[in-house]
Structure 1
Amino acid sequence: MSTFKKIAIALAVFLVVAGAALWWITRPVPALHTLEETSGTDPVLAEPAPQFFPTVGIAKPIGWADGEAPTAAAGLAVNRFAEGLDHPRVIYTMPNGDVLVTLTKAPPGEVAGGWLTNLVAGFLFSEAGAGGPSADQIVLLRDADGDGVAEERHILREGLSSPSGMAWHDGTLYVANHDAVLRFAYEEGATALTGEGEKIADLPPAGNHWMRNILLDPEGTRLYVAVGSASNIGEGGMEIEEGRAAIHEINLETGSTRIFAAGLRNPNGLAWNPWSGELWTTVNERDMLGSDLVPDYMTNVPLGSHYGWPWVYYGDVVDERVKMAMPRFLTSYTRVPEYALGAHTAPLGMVFTQGGTRMGDAFARGAFIARHGSWNRYPPGGYDVVFVAFDERGNPLAKPVTVLESFLANEDETRGRPTWVAWDGTGALLVSDDTAGIIWRVVNPTAAPGAAPQRNRGARLPPRRNLIGDPARAFEEPPADLMPGSF
């Protein structure tokens, strides 16, 4: 046998073995737990299974046929509020009922993590229907006759830079681009957003997580901005994570900013809990620890709180993959999320029930969350809208309840991806479906408008008059001067 034939045979054998090895390492690793088990107030935390090559199981969008709609829970009806939109993401309803929608995609550029991460990211964006240039628009949708369908559509503003969050107060509209927060003079009812926007804050640009949601406080004096990380677990170094994986607070009167809460890998939905008055957010947790880790979540975010990213998750579970030194005593103050929403379900938009909402008694008190859907879980999870009931004190209960069933057509294809939720002016729930270009409207047609949530308020605890013993154990064995009747 000639040397050339030997080399050819050896090369052929190598290619077969290499192909088989590549096929084997790219096979999805199935979940061992159900989404329900990785959801709720006490989720299962599986043993980590670090991956060099992630489980990739994204469903390719195929759209909805004419007349098709997602299946809603019993008692609810769903219709198309608007369609033919170019990748609608964030929805914001004005006080007069006009609905503003950002048409947006990720800005161009590389993400942290090297060539392999960028290769996978490019493939995922393309497969998920999120590739291509961003429309960079805000569109106004108006349902003037109240029939549940927007008959008017106006391009409110063009030329933005991957816009996401919006908030309005007293003649001013705030818009979050991926790299800055702008404000515009804007009166209700206007069908164009004119004039130059004033930049009130720079933001860390783009990164692995480019959406920037914003929320005003009830008084309209402070603005909260959710900024996701530039990487999965800080693999690009912590220098590029400055100001990321955090919620920022902007004082609109003084212009000062501060980090309000940190250690949140990719916070998105922001909402005020109407029973406790606390700020809540949805968070997408880290990847490449297997199909069962780490559960995404929603949680309250008190001032100064830290949720562990990238070093730990769920309070004190150390991520051994992180190479950077952990801050001293981190696990002594890292908070545990309040409520898990399932591993890799990608929760984005979130709203609480409020006065006037028309979803019926089964959905009278709680939060609605759009779960955008997994790209690295097998079988896929999310691709739905769920409801989480809350008690009268503002604490989440039980397991998520389906509001709109999975948009999946099968394990490999999905009709759309629910992205954001907001209330319209009639008390119906609006849901953006970014890959299908549709805004869905969900309502219980027989339900009366719900009552406004009652803020839970109690008497303040009396001040300690004497420091006795260990303060951390004060409420295990309270001193006499803190007992009822002692003051």
Structure 2
Amino acid sequence: MKPLRFLTLLLLLSAATACSLPNRSIVEPTSSQAQQSPSEESPQTAQQPTETPTQPKQQTAVPTKNRVRTQPLTPQPIQITLDNLPEPFATNSASKSPNVIDIPQNPTLKAPVGFQVNVYADGLDAPRWLALTPSGDVLVTETRANRIRLLRDTNGDGVADVNKTFATAQNGVDIPFGMTFAGNSFFLANTGEVRRYRYTSGQQQLNGGGQKIADLTPGGYNQHWTRNVVAAPDGTKLYVTVGSRSNVDEEPLPRASVQVMNLDGSNQQTFAYGLRNPVGLDFHPTTGELYATVNERDGLGDDLVPDYFTRVQQGGFYGWPYAYLTPNRIDPRQVTNGQSKRPDLVAQTTTPDVLFQAHSAALGLQFYDGQTFPERYRNGAFVAFRGSWNRDQGTGYKVVFVPFDASGQPQGYYEDFLTGFLLDPSGPTTWGRPVGLLVLPDGSLLLTEEANNRIYRIQYRG
């Protein structure tokens, strides 16, 4: 019995000693570590979980205060066809900017059964676009403030607990929007240029002003100042969107186009054109084809012209400003003596893959390449509608889903995915204007909402 008692005492002493050791896994890096330049950062620092979370974190419960009440939404196909479109000026052209109100005391959103919504971050300044760093941090552009913020959820509860400045005007940030990574570089699309910065995985702020690698025409009609940039799947090319300066005037390139260039900005060419205001860009996860969301023209009535989602084909012409959606639909404001000013281009007009309700303001585009949503969402596209101003009854102000088939082709319709921001279409009155989307490593979907300065997180819980 004595040896047994001695062994028991030994085990108890070992356990007590282990409990008294400090938990070093939760120690934050020092400020000097956080501010190291790319050339100074050591591999050990870059591999720390707080710096480079390459694997999805173990999920913990979302804090109650961050949860958003949801009601079940039953998605139904919404299909807009060319045959059902009205003639130009069938209705008057409305001018009804939204009445954006504060977040209601007990807000309710609608989502398909099994999905939950929580506030990932708030207190931002009109957050617009999102990007994921190679180390798993979230970047968000605050265009109005000429700033990019870095967010991180360190404990896996679905809420960002790190919020710091990644870049400012001192780094050359000037009306920023799109962001991407390729090689050892971070690329930023300002309204008038594309800039390139040296980047090391785990870096928490930009160093210096980077290098301008491409000039873009700045500004534009009715917020057409947005410039998006994405890297090709093989990391060898950049694709950049440039919106029109006007509603429906003739303009020289690169207006109303997608540009392509090398990573150093050389060999810039027009990849596709006649795209009035392309904003969202993403490559399909399996086919590798480039898709875009496009904001179409105003002034032709409530239901013209539909915004759209389409595959962007090299050398393709998509109609603006001479035609819309098909060679058979001529814009009456671009004719001379009853004939189109450019019948040669009209004949080349490409019909988009999926038409959206006119004036929805389709912006954010994100293919779902995560693993936690139900199978039907895999490799389909989510699109954020910022909402209308040129329609008598407001539309948009929501997130929709575009299903794809097994061969990697869109099925020709879309369906509601997250609604509830729009309270009164006749106003329209809303408490949210969705803009950017991003899939996180844990499979959840982030959504920026610029009117009330939040980022929402959508996750499937079953």
TM range (shorter): 0.7 to 0.9
In the comparison of the two structures, how many residue pairs are matched?
Answer: 376
User: Counterparts of 2:287 and 2:344 in 1: how far apart (Å)?
Assistant: 29
User: Counterparts of 1:195 and 1:179 in 2: how far apart (Å)?
Assistant: 19
- Residue 296 of structure 2 contacts residue 305 of structure 2 at CA under 8 Å; is this kept in 1? yes
Q: 1:253 to 1:203 in 2, by over 3 A?
A: closer
Cα deviation code 1:159-181 (max 9, x no counterpart)? 12110000012321000000000
Cα deviation code 1:123-143 (max 9, x no counterpart)? xxxxxxxxxxx2010000001
Say whether 1:170 aligns with 2:209. no
User: Counterparts of 1:155 and 1:254 in 2: how far apart (Å)?
Assistant: 27
- Deviation of 1:95 after TM superposition, in Å, equals 2.9
- Residue 365 of structure 1 contacts residue 390 of structure 1 at CA under 8 Å; is this kept in 2? yes
- Residue 147 of structure 2 contacts residue 176 of structure 2 at CA under 8 Å; is this kept in 1? yes
Cα deviation code 1:295-318 (max 9, x no counterpart)? 100101111000010000011110
Q: Is the partner of 1:149 in helix, strand or coil?
A: coil
Report what 1:421 is aligned to: 437
Cα deviation code 1:426-453 (max 9, x no counterpart)? 110000001110000001024xxxxxxx
Cα deviation code 1:185-216 (max 9, x no counterpart)? 12222221111210000001101110001110
What is the identity percentage for the equivalent residue pairs of Structure 1 and Structure 2? 40
Report what 2:61 is aligned to: none
- Residue 386 of structure 1 contacts residue 403 of structure 1 at CA under 8 Å; is this kept in 2? yes
- Residue 41 of structure 1 contacts residue 338 of structure 1 at CA under 8 Å; is this kept in 2? no
- Residue 94 of structure 2 contacts residue 301 of structure 2 at CA under 8 Å; is this kept in 1? yes
- Residue 37 of structure 1 contacts residue 43 of structure 1 at CA under 8 Å; is this kept in 2? no
For 1:258, the aligned partner's letter is: Q
Report what 2:295 is aligned to: 284
Cα deviation code 1:64-121 (max 9, x no counterpart)? 14553532221100000000100000011123220000001xxxxxxxxxxxxxxxxx
Q: 1:41 to 1:221 in 2, by over 3 A?
A: farther
- In the TM superposition, what are the counterparts of 1:350-369 in structure 2 within 5 Å? 350-354=365-369, 356-369=370-383
- Deviation of 1:349 after TM superposition, in Å, equals 0.7
Report what 1:47 is aligned to: 87
- Deviation of 1:321 after TM superposition, in Å, equals 0.9
- Residue 59 of structure 1 contacts residue 408 of structure 1 at CA under 8 Å; is this kept in 2? no
For 2:165, the aligned partner's letter is: I
- In the TM superposition, what are the counterparts of 1:101-250 in structure 2 within 5 Å? 101-104=140-143, 134-159=144-169, 160-208=173-221, 209-234=224-249, 238-239=250-251, 241-250=252-261
Unpaired segments of 5 or more residues in structure 2? 1-75
For 2:137, the aligned partner's letter is: D
- Deviation of 1:252 after TM superposition, in Å, equals 2.0
User: Counterparts of 1:50 and 1:371 in 2: how far apart (Å)?
Assistant: 24
- Residue 268 of structure 1 contacts residue 348 of structure 1 at CA under 8 Å; is this kept in 2? yes
User: Counterparts of 1:44 and 1:191 in 2: how far apart (Å)?
Assistant: 51
Report what 1:85 is aligned to: 124
Report what 1:294 is aligned to: 305
Report what 2:458 is aligned to: 442
For 1:376, the aligned partner's letter is: N
- Residue 41 of structure 1 contacts residue 398 of structure 1 at CA under 8 Å; is this kept in 2? no
User: Counterparts of 1:67 and 1:158 in 2: how far apart (Å)?
Assistant: 35
User: Counterparts of 1:184 and 1:194 in 2: how far apart (Å)?
Assistant: 8
User: Counterparts of 1:42 and 1:391 in 2: how far apart (Å)?
Assistant: 22
For 1:174, the aligned partner's letter is: F
- Residue 354 of structure 2 contacts residue 414 of structure 2 at CA under 8 Å; is this kept in 1? no
Report what 1:114 is aligned to: none
For 1:282, the aligned partner's letter is: T
Q: 1:41 to 1:364 in 2, by over 3 A?
A: farther
- Residue 246 of structure 1 contacts residue 267 of structure 1 at CA under 8 Å; is this kept in 2? yes
Q: Is the partner of 1:343 in helix, strand or coil?
A: coil
- Deviation of 1:398 after TM superposition, in Å, equals 5.0
Q: Is the partner of 1:305 in helix, strand or coil?
A: coil
Say whether 1:374 aligns with 2:388. yes
Q: If each structure's strand is expressed as a fraction of its own residues, which one has the higher value?
A: 2
Q: Is the partner of 2:356 in helix, strand or coil?
A: strand
Q: Is the partner of 2:399 in helix, strand or coil?
A: strand
For 2:85, the aligned partner's letter is: L
Report what 2:323 is aligned to: 312
TM-score w.r.t. structure 1 length? 0.74
For 1:148, the aligned partner's letter is: G
- Deviation of 1:38 after TM superposition, in Å, equals 8.0
- Deviation of 1:63 after TM superposition, in Å, equals 2.6
The answer to which of 361-370 and 384-393 deviates more is: 361-370
- Deviation of 1:333 after TM superposition, in Å, equals 1.8
User: Counterparts of 2:343 and 2:256 in 1: how far apart (Å)?
Assistant: 19
User: Counterparts of 2:108 and 2:155 in 1: how far apart (Å)?
Assistant: 22
User: Counterparts of 1:190 and 1:264 in 2: how far apart (Å)?
Assistant: 36
Aligned partner of 1:94 among 125, 133, 144: 133
- Deviation of 1:326 after TM superposition, in Å, equals 2.7
For 2:407, the aligned partner's letter is: R
Report what 1:394 is aligned to: 408
Report what 2:110 is aligned to: 71
- Residue 77 of structure 2 contacts residue 414 of structure 2 at CA under 8 Å; is this kept in 1? no
Q: 1:65 to 1:357 in 2, by over 3 A?
A: farther
Report what 2:333 is aligned to: 321
Report what 2:23 is aligned to: none
TM-score w.r.t. structure 2 length? 0.78
Report what 1:107 is aligned to: none
Say whether 1:62 aligns with 2:134. no
Report what 1:331 is aligned to: 346
User: Counterparts of 2:94 and 2:265 in 1: how far apart (Å)?
Assistant: 47
RMSD (Å), alpha carbons: 2.0
User: Counterparts of 2:403 and 2:436 in 1: how far apart (Å)?
Assistant: 19
Report what 1:266 is aligned to: 277
For 1:407, the aligned partner's letter is: F
- Deviation of 1:42 after TM superposition, in Å, equals 5.2
Q: Is the partner of 1:321 in helix, strand or coil?
A: helix
